[in-house]
Structure 1
Amino acid sequence: MDVIPDQLQRLIDKDAIRDCVLAYARGLDREDETILLSGFHPHACDDHGSYIGPISKFTGRASATRHRWDVYQHHVTNQTIDIEGDGAHAETYFFANLVRPDGHIDLTGGRYIDRLERIEGRWGIAERVTVVEWGATIPPEQTGWLPPGLFIPATHDKDDPSYQRPLKITREFRDLGAK
């Protein structure tokens, strides 16, 4: 068996921890509970403001988002990860862009504070606290929108292009910038 140098193992661990945080955001935006929950251990707990409790009762969270907003994207940005043995703490900044049915856009930013554990070689979130630091709402009259049909629309299910393997462009050639 090859021994992985400590620095390389640390990079492998950090990448696995990043995947846990990204799985939550992608799973929420695609309404895919399997992906959403894959970043957590089954015994995990979450303090998300509107939901505080075990991740096992978190199911339906994506659908709850859909009932308030038509379009939603969660972005994760800066991240620090401190690893100590089979435990880690991560702080990850996030932005959420949420479009209401009436056209208002809710914006929020904050941080996910996570305690993670490596159990049987797999990293997962054990506890999460969501800290919201700011929020704003943009009224519809202050937003612009792109013409319908210009881009492929997102869907909050497995019809979204992100699930297509292999990805294939099927729309006709178009060059709106040609003179």
Structure 2
Amino acid sequence: MTSLEERLKRLEDRDAIHQLFVDYGRHLDSGDINAYAALFTEDGEVMLGPLGRTQGRDNIRALMGKVLANRVGSSYHVISSPRVEIDGDRATSEVMWTVIQRDPDGKPRLTSLGRHVDQLRRESGVWRIAERRGYVDLPQRLPTVNADTHQVD
């Protein structure tokens, strides 16, 4: 492969990995636990702070099914600041996340901020999460700020 081809492949890999992160948030927000679980390798592992640790795509699906069944209102995951290091069919990454939730009363609320540290693996040409460690950097249920009055609830 030429240097230009290698560089193009690297950009394509970065784009595919970025899309993986975007899909992660979208599938959680839409409640599509099957699509969410498909983002992980069959032997994938998640360690998500207070949710604990689980391994295997079926267990990940079951865990998130329970989490989403208890969700109140709707959520919006914002994924940012991706840092990705690719080495062949494996990659490491760290992304920041922000979760905004719309409570049943309709008010948007910034609920948490944190980061995911991942081990990724390309399988049959598709990048998947092999291991995800989640860290909450700011506490849940942060106050609501009224966008019009700038008052804190």
Do both proteins adopt the same fold according to a TM-score greater than 0.5, normalized to the shorter chain? Answer: yes
Unaligned runs of 5+ in 2: 149-153
1:1-179 equivalences under 5 Å are 5-49=5-49, 50-54=51-55, 55-60=57-62, 61-62=64-65, 64-101=67-104, 105-135=109-139, 136-138=141-143, 143=146
TM score, norm. by length of structure 2:
0.80
Question: Residues 24 and 37 of structure 1 are in contact (CA less than 8 Å); yes or no, is this contact kept in structure 2?
Answer: no
Unaligned runs of 5+ in 1: 146-179
Question: Residues 36 and 61 of structure 2 are in contact (CA less than 8 Å); yes or no, is this contact kept in structure 1?
Answer: no
Cα drift, residue 109 of structure 1: 0.8
Task: String of CA shifts for 1:23-67, please: whole Å, max 9, x gaps.
Answer: 211110001123212321111000012131114212241552352
TM score, norm. by length of structure 1:
0.69
CA distance in 2: counterparts of 1:11 and 1:84, whole angstroms: 13
Question: Residues 68 and 100 of structure 1 are in contact (CA less than 8 Å); yes or no, is this contact kept in structure 2?
Answer: no
RMSD: 2.5
CA distance in 1: counterparts of 2:89 and 2:36, whole angstroms: 22
Cα drift, residue 104 of structure 1: 8.1
Task: Count the aligned residue pairs.
Answer: 142
Q: Which runs of 4+ in 1 moved over 6 A?
A: none
**Structure 2 CA distance for partners of 1:87 and 1:119, relative to 1, 3 Å:** same
More helix by percentage? 2
Identity among equivalent positions (%) equals 25
